[in-house]
Structure 1
Protein backbone atom coordinates (compact mmCIF):
# COMPACT_ATOMS: atom_id res chain seq x y z
CA UNK A 1 0.00 0.00 0.00
CA UNK A 2 1.19 3.51 -0.74
CA UNK A 3 2.68 5.85 1.84
CA UNK A 4 3.79 9.48 1.68
CA UNK A 5 6.91 10.45 3.64
CA UNK A 6 6.99 14.20 4.33
CA UNK A 7 10.45 14.77 5.79
CA UNK A 8 13.04 17.39 4.83
CA UNK A 9 16.04 15.36 6.07
CA UNK A 10 16.78 13.38 2.92
CA UNK A 11 18.97 10.75 4.60
CA UNK A 12 16.24 10.00 7.13
CA UNK A 13 13.58 9.98 4.42
CA UNK A 14 15.66 7.55 2.34
CA UNK A 15 16.16 5.26 5.35
CA UNK A 16 12.43 5.25 6.10
CA UNK A 17 11.59 4.48 2.47
CA UNK A 18 14.14 1.68 2.29
CA UNK A 19 12.86 0.05 5.48
CA UNK A 20 9.15 0.41 4.72
CA UNK A 21 9.80 -0.80 1.18
CA UNK A 22 11.15 -4.02 2.70
CA UNK A 23 7.90 -4.20 4.68
CA UNK A 24 5.83 -4.36 1.46
CA UNK A 25 4.89 -0.67 1.33
CA UNK A 26 5.29 1.60 -1.68
CA UNK A 27 6.69 4.99 -0.65
CA UNK A 28 6.62 8.46 -2.14
CA UNK A 29 8.53 11.39 -0.69
CA UNK A 30 8.14 15.14 -0.27
CA UNK A 31 10.83 17.35 1.24
CA UNK A 32 8.94 20.61 1.79
CA UNK A 33 5.46 21.95 2.51
CA UNK A 34 4.50 22.88 -1.05
CA UNK A 35 5.56 19.63 -2.73
CA UNK A 36 3.81 17.68 0.03
CA UNK A 37 0.58 19.60 -0.49
CA UNK A 38 0.80 19.07 -4.26
CA UNK A 39 1.00 15.30 -3.76
CA UNK A 40 -1.82 15.25 -1.21
CA UNK A 41 -4.09 17.19 -3.56
CA UNK A 42 -3.85 14.65 -6.38
CA UNK A 43 -3.15 11.33 -4.65
CA UNK A 44 -4.52 9.08 -1.94
CA UNK A 45 -2.33 7.29 0.58
CA UNK A 46 -2.79 4.53 3.13
CA UNK A 47 -0.77 6.59 5.60
CA UNK A 48 1.21 9.83 5.71
CA UNK A 49 4.40 10.07 7.78
CA UNK A 50 4.70 13.74 8.67
CA UNK A 51 7.51 15.84 10.11
CA UNK A 52 6.26 18.97 11.85
CA UNK A 53 9.16 21.25 10.87
CA UNK A 54 9.25 21.71 7.08
CA UNK A 55 10.72 24.26 4.69
CA UNK A 56 8.09 26.85 3.65
CA UNK A 57 5.45 25.65 6.08
CA UNK A 58 4.43 23.53 9.04
CA UNK A 59 3.32 19.94 9.39
CA UNK A 60 0.40 21.20 11.47
CA UNK A 61 -0.72 23.22 8.44
CA UNK A 62 -0.64 19.98 6.42
CA UNK A 63 -3.03 18.46 8.98
CA UNK A 64 -5.31 21.48 8.59
CA UNK A 65 -5.32 21.08 4.81
CA UNK A 66 -6.15 17.37 5.11
CA UNK A 67 -9.23 18.30 7.16
CA UNK A 68 -10.30 21.01 4.72
CA UNK A 69 -9.96 18.57 1.81
CA UNK A 70 -11.93 15.87 3.71
CA UNK A 71 -9.00 13.49 3.25
CA UNK A 72 -9.08 10.29 5.29
CA UNK A 73 -5.43 9.24 5.25
CA UNK A 74 -3.93 8.07 8.51
CA UNK A 75 -1.15 10.35 9.78
CA UNK A 76 1.87 9.48 11.89
CA UNK A 77 3.80 12.53 13.10
CA UNK A 78 7.56 12.14 13.47
CA UNK A 79 9.20 15.04 15.26
CA UNK A 80 12.15 16.07 17.40
CA UNK A 81 9.66 18.03 19.50
CA UNK A 82 9.01 15.69 22.40
CA UNK A 83 7.14 17.76 24.99
CA UNK A 84 3.72 16.62 26.15
CA UNK A 85 2.20 19.84 24.79
CA UNK A 86 3.65 19.18 21.34
CA UNK A 87 2.31 15.62 21.28
CA UNK A 88 -1.14 16.70 22.45
CA UNK A 89 -1.25 19.51 19.89
CA UNK A 90 -0.30 17.14 17.07
CA UNK A 91 -2.87 14.53 18.06
CA UNK A 92 -5.60 17.12 18.60
CA UNK A 93 -4.84 18.54 15.15
CA UNK A 94 -5.84 15.22 13.55
CA UNK A 95 -2.80 12.94 13.65
CA UNK A 96 -3.37 9.27 14.50
CA UNK A 97 -0.05 8.76 16.27
CA UNK A 98 3.08 10.65 17.33
CA UNK A 99 6.63 9.29 17.33
CA UNK A 100 9.55 11.27 18.73
CA UNK A 101 12.91 11.38 16.95
CA UNK A 102 15.22 9.52 17.14
CA UNK A 103 13.29 6.27 16.73
CA UNK A 104 13.85 2.69 15.65
CA UNK A 105 12.64 1.97 12.13
CA UNK A 106 11.02 -1.24 13.37
CA UNK A 107 8.82 0.79 15.75
CA UNK A 108 7.95 3.21 12.96
CA UNK A 109 6.96 0.27 10.75
CA UNK A 110 4.80 -1.26 13.49
CA UNK A 111 2.98 2.03 14.09
CA UNK A 112 2.38 2.58 10.38
CA UNK A 113 1.02 -0.95 10.02
CA UNK A 114 -1.30 -0.38 13.00
CA UNK A 115 -2.65 2.84 11.48
CA UNK A 116 -3.26 1.12 8.13
CA UNK A 117 -5.10 -1.73 9.87
CA UNK A 118 -7.31 0.70 11.80
CA UNK A 119 -8.09 2.81 8.75
CA UNK A 120 -8.59 0.07 6.17
CA UNK A 121 -9.47 -3.10 8.10
CA UNK A 122 -11.03 -1.94 11.40
CA UNK A 123 -7.92 -2.96 13.34
CA UNK A 124 -8.02 -6.60 12.25
CA UNK A 125 -4.75 -8.49 11.81
CA UNK A 126 -6.40 -11.35 9.88
CA UNK A 127 -8.68 -10.83 6.89
CA UNK A 128 -10.97 -13.79 6.18
CA UNK A 129 -12.58 -14.10 2.75
CA UNK A 130 -14.27 -17.44 2.14
CA UNK A 131 -11.48 -20.05 2.35
CA UNK A 132 -8.77 -17.37 2.35
CA UNK A 133 -6.99 -16.00 5.41
CA UNK A 134 -4.69 -13.03 4.90
CA UNK A 135 -2.34 -12.49 7.85
CA UNK A 136 -1.45 -8.79 7.80
CA UNK A 137 1.24 -9.14 10.46
CA UNK A 138 3.11 -11.93 8.71
CA UNK A 139 2.02 -10.86 5.21
CA UNK A 140 1.04 -14.44 4.42
CA UNK A 141 -1.98 -15.67 2.46
CA UNK A 142 -3.41 -19.10 3.26
CA UNK A 143 -6.21 -21.24 1.98
CA UNK A 144 -6.92 -23.68 4.78
CA UNK A 145 -3.54 -25.07 5.81
CA UNK A 146 -1.95 -24.29 2.44
CA UNK A 147 0.11 -21.15 1.98
CA UNK A 148 -0.41 -19.33 -1.32
CA UNK A 149 2.84 -17.80 -2.54
CA UNK A 150 2.39 -14.26 -3.84
CA UNK A 151 4.89 -11.88 -5.34
CA UNK A 152 5.26 -8.55 -3.59
CA UNK A 153 3.11 -6.75 -6.16
CA UNK A 154 0.47 -9.49 -6.07
CA UNK A 155 0.27 -9.10 -2.28
CA UNK A 156 0.03 -5.31 -2.55
CA UNK A 157 -2.62 -5.62 -5.26
CA UNK A 158 -4.70 -8.04 -3.19
CA UNK A 159 -4.44 -5.80 -0.12
CA UNK A 160 -5.48 -2.75 -2.14
CA UNK A 161 -8.46 -4.54 -3.68
CA UNK A 162 -9.53 -5.83 -0.26
CA UNK A 163 -9.29 -2.36 1.26
CA UNK A 164 -11.71 -1.26 -1.48
CA UNK A 165 -13.90 -4.37 -1.44
CA UNK A 166 -17.08 -4.13 -3.49
CA UNK A 167 -15.85 -0.86 -5.02
CA UNK A 168 -14.60 -0.32 -8.55
CA UNK A 169 -10.97 0.75 -8.65
CA UNK A 170 -9.67 2.14 -11.92
CA UNK A 171 -6.52 0.96 -13.66
CA UNK A 172 -5.10 4.44 -13.09
CA UNK A 173 -5.77 4.19 -9.34
CA UNK A 174 -4.07 0.79 -9.17
CA UNK A 175 -1.01 2.11 -10.96
CA UNK A 176 -0.82 5.23 -8.83
CA UNK A 177 -1.35 3.37 -5.57
CA UNK A 178 1.08 0.52 -6.16
CA UNK A 179 3.81 2.21 -8.18
CA UNK A 180 3.42 5.91 -7.47
CA UNK A 181 6.38 7.97 -8.66
CA UNK A 182 8.24 4.89 -9.91
CA UNK A 183 6.11 4.12 -12.95
CA UNK A 184 5.41 5.79 -16.28
CA UNK A 185 1.66 5.47 -16.81
CA UNK A 186 1.73 6.75 -20.38
CA UNK A 187 2.77 3.63 -22.25
CA UNK A 188 0.73 0.55 -21.41
CA UNK A 189 -1.38 -1.15 -18.78
CA UNK A 190 -0.24 -4.62 -19.82
CA UNK A 191 1.65 -5.09 -16.56
CA UNK A 192 -1.60 -4.56 -14.61
CA UNK A 193 -3.41 -7.17 -16.68
CA UNK A 194 -0.55 -9.56 -16.01
CA UNK A 195 -0.65 -9.02 -12.22
CA UNK A 196 -4.45 -9.33 -12.15
CA UNK A 197 -4.36 -12.50 -14.26
CA UNK A 198 -1.71 -14.14 -12.07
CA UNK A 199 -3.43 -13.19 -8.82
CA UNK A 200 -6.82 -14.47 -10.03
CA UNK A 201 -5.19 -17.70 -11.20
CA UNK A 202 -3.57 -18.33 -7.82
CA UNK A 203 -6.74 -17.56 -5.87
CA UNK A 204 -8.93 -19.77 -8.04
CA UNK A 205 -6.38 -22.59 -7.97
CA UNK A 206 -6.75 -22.58 -4.18
CA UNK A 207 -10.49 -23.19 -4.52
CA UNK A 208 -11.72 -19.60 -4.32
CA UNK A 209 -14.53 -18.16 -6.39
CA UNK A 210 -13.48 -15.60 -8.99
CA UNK A 211 -13.59 -12.66 -6.60
CA UNK A 212 -11.81 -10.21 -8.91
CA UNK A 213 -14.23 -8.87 -11.51
CA UNK A 214 -13.31 -6.77 -14.52
CA UNK A 215 -15.63 -3.78 -14.92
CA UNK A 216 -15.64 -2.91 -18.60
CA UNK A 217 -14.17 0.46 -19.40
CA UNK A 218 -13.48 1.26 -15.75
CA UNK A 219 -11.25 -1.16 -13.87
CA UNK A 220 -11.63 -3.98 -11.34
CA UNK A 221 -13.64 -4.84 -8.26
CA UNK A 222 -13.06 -7.38 -5.49
CA UNK A 223 -16.66 -8.52 -5.31
CA UNK A 224 -17.95 -10.29 -2.19
CA UNK A 225 -21.36 -11.71 -1.49
CA UNK A 226 -20.59 -11.50 2.20
CA UNK A 227 -18.57 -8.90 4.02
CA UNK A 228 -15.06 -9.55 5.26
CA UNK A 229 -15.04 -11.10 8.72
Structure 2
Protein backbone atom coordinates (compact mmCIF):
# COMPACT_ATOMS: atom_id res chain seq x y z
CA UNK A 1 0.00 0.00 0.00
CA UNK A 2 1.40 3.39 -1.01
CA UNK A 3 0.61 6.54 0.93
CA UNK A 4 1.45 10.17 0.15
CA UNK A 5 2.04 12.42 3.17
CA UNK A 6 1.56 16.10 2.25
CA UNK A 7 2.84 17.99 5.29
CA UNK A 8 5.19 21.00 5.54
CA UNK A 9 6.15 20.52 9.20
CA UNK A 10 9.15 18.26 8.63
CA UNK A 11 9.28 16.90 12.17
CA UNK A 12 5.65 15.82 11.96
CA UNK A 13 6.15 14.54 8.42
CA UNK A 14 9.04 12.38 9.61
CA UNK A 15 7.07 11.09 12.60
CA UNK A 16 4.11 10.13 10.42
CA UNK A 17 6.41 8.49 7.89
CA UNK A 18 8.23 6.42 10.53
CA UNK A 19 4.96 5.36 12.16
CA UNK A 20 3.34 4.24 8.90
CA UNK A 21 6.50 2.51 7.66
CA UNK A 22 6.38 0.37 10.81
CA UNK A 23 2.98 -0.78 9.55
CA UNK A 24 4.69 -1.79 6.28
CA UNK A 25 3.20 0.99 4.17
CA UNK A 26 5.29 2.53 1.39
CA UNK A 27 5.50 6.28 2.06
CA UNK A 28 6.11 9.20 -0.29
CA UNK A 29 6.19 12.80 0.92
CA UNK A 30 5.61 16.37 -0.27
CA UNK A 31 6.24 19.51 1.79
CA UNK A 32 4.70 22.21 -0.41
CA UNK A 33 1.78 22.82 -2.75
CA UNK A 34 3.65 22.53 -6.05
CA UNK A 35 5.43 19.27 -5.18
CA UNK A 36 2.17 17.82 -3.91
CA UNK A 37 0.30 18.78 -7.08
CA UNK A 38 2.98 17.19 -9.24
CA UNK A 39 2.92 13.93 -7.29
CA UNK A 40 -0.84 13.44 -7.01
CA UNK A 41 -1.34 13.82 -10.74
CA UNK A 42 1.67 11.79 -11.89
CA UNK A 43 1.44 8.87 -9.45
CA UNK A 44 -1.32 6.78 -7.89
CA UNK A 45 -1.70 6.35 -4.15
CA UNK A 46 -3.88 4.16 -1.95
CA UNK A 47 -4.28 6.99 0.56
CA UNK A 48 -3.31 10.68 0.79
CA UNK A 49 -2.73 12.49 4.09
CA UNK A 50 -3.27 16.16 3.32
CA UNK A 51 -2.44 19.27 5.33
CA UNK A 52 -4.58 22.32 4.49
CA UNK A 53 -1.99 25.04 5.19
CA UNK A 54 0.90 24.55 2.74
CA UNK A 55 3.66 26.78 1.38
CA UNK A 56 2.55 28.34 -1.93
CA UNK A 57 -1.02 27.06 -1.77
CA UNK A 58 -3.89 25.36 0.03
CA UNK A 59 -4.61 21.70 0.52
CA UNK A 60 -8.25 22.47 -0.23
CA UNK A 61 -7.22 23.59 -3.73
CA UNK A 62 -5.50 20.21 -4.19
CA UNK A 63 -8.75 18.52 -3.18
CA UNK A 64 -10.67 20.62 -5.71
CA UNK A 65 -8.31 19.55 -8.51
CA UNK A 66 -8.48 15.91 -7.42
CA UNK A 67 -12.27 16.07 -7.46
CA UNK A 68 -12.23 17.47 -11.01
CA UNK A 69 -10.07 14.55 -12.13
CA UNK A 70 -12.08 11.95 -10.21
CA UNK A 71 -9.08 11.06 -8.03
CA UNK A 72 -10.33 12.34 -4.69
CA UNK A 73 -10.81 9.01 -2.90
CA UNK A 74 -8.99 7.90 0.26
CA UNK A 75 -7.96 11.37 1.49
CA UNK A 76 -7.52 12.21 5.17
CA UNK A 77 -7.09 15.90 5.99
CA UNK A 78 -4.60 16.56 8.78
CA UNK A 79 -4.69 20.18 9.87
CA UNK A 80 -4.31 22.54 12.81
CA UNK A 81 -7.37 24.40 11.59
CA UNK A 82 -10.27 23.21 13.70
CA UNK A 83 -13.12 25.29 12.33
CA UNK A 84 -16.33 23.58 11.31
CA UNK A 85 -16.28 25.37 7.95
CA UNK A 86 -12.87 23.92 7.02
CA UNK A 87 -13.98 20.42 7.97
CA UNK A 88 -17.22 20.68 6.02
CA UNK A 89 -15.51 22.11 2.94
CA UNK A 90 -12.89 19.38 2.99
CA UNK A 91 -15.49 16.62 3.31
CA UNK A 92 -17.68 18.17 0.60
CA UNK A 93 -14.65 18.23 -1.71
CA UNK A 94 -14.23 14.49 -1.31
CA UNK A 95 -12.03 13.94 1.75
CA UNK A 96 -12.92 10.77 3.67
CA UNK A 97 -11.85 11.92 7.12
CA UNK A 98 -10.50 14.92 9.04
CA UNK A 99 -7.97 14.77 11.87
CA UNK A 100 -7.09 17.89 13.87
CA UNK A 101 -3.54 18.48 15.10
CA UNK A 102 -2.19 17.50 17.51
CA UNK A 103 -3.21 13.86 17.18
CA UNK A 104 -1.87 10.49 18.31
CA UNK A 105 -0.04 8.58 15.58
CA UNK A 106 -1.83 5.41 16.64
CA UNK A 107 -5.17 7.10 15.85
CA UNK A 108 -3.89 8.21 12.44
CA UNK A 109 -2.71 4.66 11.67
CA UNK A 110 -6.09 3.26 12.70
CA UNK A 111 -7.97 5.74 10.50
CA UNK A 112 -5.75 4.97 7.50
CA UNK A 113 -6.37 1.25 7.91
CA UNK A 114 -10.11 1.79 8.37
CA UNK A 115 -10.37 3.81 5.16
CA UNK A 116 -8.40 1.24 3.18
CA UNK A 117 -10.57 -1.59 4.51
CA UNK A 118 -13.75 0.32 3.77
CA UNK A 119 -12.74 1.42 0.29
CA UNK A 120 -10.88 -1.62 -0.96
CA UNK A 121 -12.01 -4.64 1.03
CA UNK A 122 -15.60 -3.91 2.05
CA UNK A 123 -14.45 -3.70 5.66
CA UNK A 124 -12.48 -6.97 5.67
CA UNK A 125 -8.81 -7.53 6.50
CA UNK A 126 -8.29 -10.34 4.00
CA UNK A 127 -8.30 -10.77 0.23
CA UNK A 128 -9.52 -14.14 -1.09
CA UNK A 129 -8.94 -15.43 -4.62
CA UNK A 130 -9.41 -19.06 -5.71
CA UNK A 131 -7.80 -21.22 -2.99
CA UNK A 132 -5.65 -18.41 -1.58
CA UNK A 133 -6.07 -15.88 1.24
CA UNK A 134 -3.92 -12.82 1.93
CA UNK A 135 -4.20 -11.50 5.49
CA UNK A 136 -3.28 -7.81 5.42
CA UNK A 137 -3.14 -7.29 9.18
CA UNK A 138 -0.90 -10.27 9.90
CA UNK A 139 0.91 -10.04 6.53
CA UNK A 140 0.43 -13.76 5.97
CA UNK A 141 -0.40 -15.69 2.80
CA UNK A 142 -2.31 -18.98 2.79
CA UNK A 143 -2.97 -21.61 0.14
CA UNK A 144 -5.66 -24.14 1.09
CA UNK A 145 -5.27 -22.93 4.66
CA UNK A 146 -1.52 -23.57 4.81
CA UNK A 147 0.89 -20.69 5.36
CA UNK A 148 3.30 -19.80 2.55
CA UNK A 149 6.23 -17.61 3.66
CA UNK A 150 6.79 -14.46 1.60
CA UNK A 151 9.40 -11.76 2.01
CA UNK A 152 8.24 -8.16 2.33
CA UNK A 153 8.46 -7.30 -1.37
CA UNK A 154 6.84 -10.57 -2.46
CA UNK A 155 3.95 -9.83 -0.10
CA UNK A 156 3.58 -6.27 -1.42
CA UNK A 157 3.69 -7.46 -5.04
CA UNK A 158 1.03 -10.11 -4.40
CA UNK A 159 -1.06 -7.59 -2.49
CA UNK A 160 -1.00 -5.22 -5.49
CA UNK A 161 -1.81 -8.04 -7.89
CA UNK A 162 -4.75 -9.17 -5.77
CA UNK A 163 -6.18 -5.65 -5.63
CA UNK A 164 -5.96 -5.69 -9.43
CA UNK A 165 -6.77 -9.33 -10.13
CA UNK A 166 -7.67 -10.11 -13.74
CA UNK A 167 -6.49 -6.65 -14.76
CA UNK A 168 -3.39 -5.69 -16.70
CA UNK A 169 -0.70 -4.33 -14.36
CA UNK A 170 2.04 -2.44 -16.17
CA UNK A 171 5.65 -2.95 -15.14
CA UNK A 172 6.02 0.74 -14.32
CA UNK A 173 2.88 0.86 -12.17
CA UNK A 174 4.03 -2.21 -10.23
CA UNK A 175 7.50 -0.79 -9.66
CA UNK A 176 6.19 2.59 -8.50
CA UNK A 177 3.63 1.04 -6.18
CA UNK A 178 5.97 -1.42 -4.47
CA UNK A 179 9.32 0.41 -4.61
CA UNK A 180 8.24 4.05 -4.73
CA UNK A 181 7.96 6.94 -7.15
CA UNK A 182 11.72 7.27 -7.73
CA UNK A 183 11.76 4.05 -9.75
CA UNK A 184 11.02 6.11 -12.87
CA UNK A 185 14.65 7.22 -12.63
CA UNK A 186 16.01 3.66 -12.60
CA UNK A 187 17.96 2.39 -15.62
CA UNK A 188 16.03 -0.90 -15.64
CA UNK A 189 13.56 -2.94 -13.63
CA UNK A 190 15.72 -5.99 -12.96
CA UNK A 191 15.17 -5.55 -9.22
CA UNK A 192 11.47 -6.27 -9.79
CA UNK A 193 11.80 -9.23 -12.14
CA UNK A 194 13.68 -11.39 -9.63
CA UNK A 195 11.01 -10.85 -6.96
CA UNK A 196 8.20 -11.77 -9.38
CA UNK A 197 10.16 -14.84 -10.51
CA UNK A 198 10.50 -16.03 -6.90
CA UNK A 199 6.83 -15.31 -6.19
CA UNK A 200 5.79 -17.38 -9.21
CA UNK A 201 7.85 -20.31 -7.92
CA UNK A 202 6.19 -20.12 -4.51
CA UNK A 203 2.72 -20.04 -6.05
CA UNK A 204 3.56 -23.14 -8.11
CA UNK A 205 5.16 -25.07 -5.26
CA UNK A 206 2.25 -24.37 -2.92
CA UNK A 207 -0.25 -25.48 -5.62
CA UNK A 208 -2.04 -22.15 -5.63
CA UNK A 209 -4.87 -21.99 -8.17
CA UNK A 210 -3.69 -18.55 -9.27
CA UNK A 211 -0.81 -17.56 -11.52
CA UNK A 212 1.02 -14.47 -12.75
CA UNK A 213 0.95 -14.37 -16.54
CA UNK A 214 3.11 -12.06 -18.63
CA UNK A 215 1.61 -9.67 -21.17
CA UNK A 216 4.48 -9.31 -23.61
CA UNK A 217 6.15 -5.92 -23.54
CA UNK A 218 3.58 -4.39 -21.18
CA UNK A 219 3.25 -6.10 -17.83
CA UNK A 220 1.39 -8.86 -16.00
CA UNK A 221 -1.99 -10.23 -14.96
CA UNK A 222 -2.90 -12.27 -11.90
CA UNK A 223 -5.51 -14.81 -12.99
CA UNK A 224 -7.16 -17.99 -11.77
CA UNK A 225 -5.84 -21.14 -13.42
Same fold (TM over 0.5): yes
Q: For residues 187 and 99 of structure 1, what CA distance do their matches in structure 2 show? A: 40
Structure 1 residue 184 displacement after superposition: 5.9
Structure 1 residue 131 displacement after superposition: 2.0
Aligned to 2:55: 55
SS of 1:165 mapped into structure 2: coil
Q: For residues 124 and 116 of structure 2, what CA distance do their matches in structure 1 show? A: 10
Aligned to 1:179: 179
Aligned to 1:148: 148
Question: Cα deviations across residues 166-188 of structure 1 (Å, max 9, x unaligned)?
Answer: 11111111111112245464322
Is contact 2:154–2:199 with CA below 8 Å preserved after alignment? yes
The answer for unaligned runs of 5 or more in structure 1 is none
Change (3 A) 1:191 1:62: same
Aligned to 1:119: 119
Change (3 A) 1:72 1:160: farther
Aligned to 2:167: 167
Aligned to 2:107: 107
Is contact 1:45–1:73 with CA below 8 Å preserved after alignment? no
Give runs of aligned pairs for residues 36-51 of structure 1, distance below 5 A: 36-51=36-51
The answer for unaligned runs of 5 or more in structure 2 is none
Is contact 2:9–2:31 with CA below 8 Å preserved after alignment? yes
Change (3 A) 1:149 1:185: farther
Is contact 2:73–2:96 with CA below 8 Å preserved after alignment? no
Structure 1 residue 5 displacement after superposition: 0.6
Aligned to 1:198: 198
Is contact 1:76–1:97 with CA below 8 Å preserved after alignment? yes
Q: For residues 129 and 44 of structure 2, what CA distance do their matches in structure 1 show? A: 25
CA-based RMSD: 1.7
Is contact 2:210–2:224 with CA below 8 Å preserved after alignment? no
Is contact 1:200–1:210 with CA below 8 Å preserved after alignment? no
SS of 1:211 mapped into structure 2: strand
Structure 1 residue 4 displacement after superposition: 0.7
Question: Cα deviations across residues 136-159 of structure 1 (Å, max 9, x unaligned)?
Answer: 222222224422221111111111
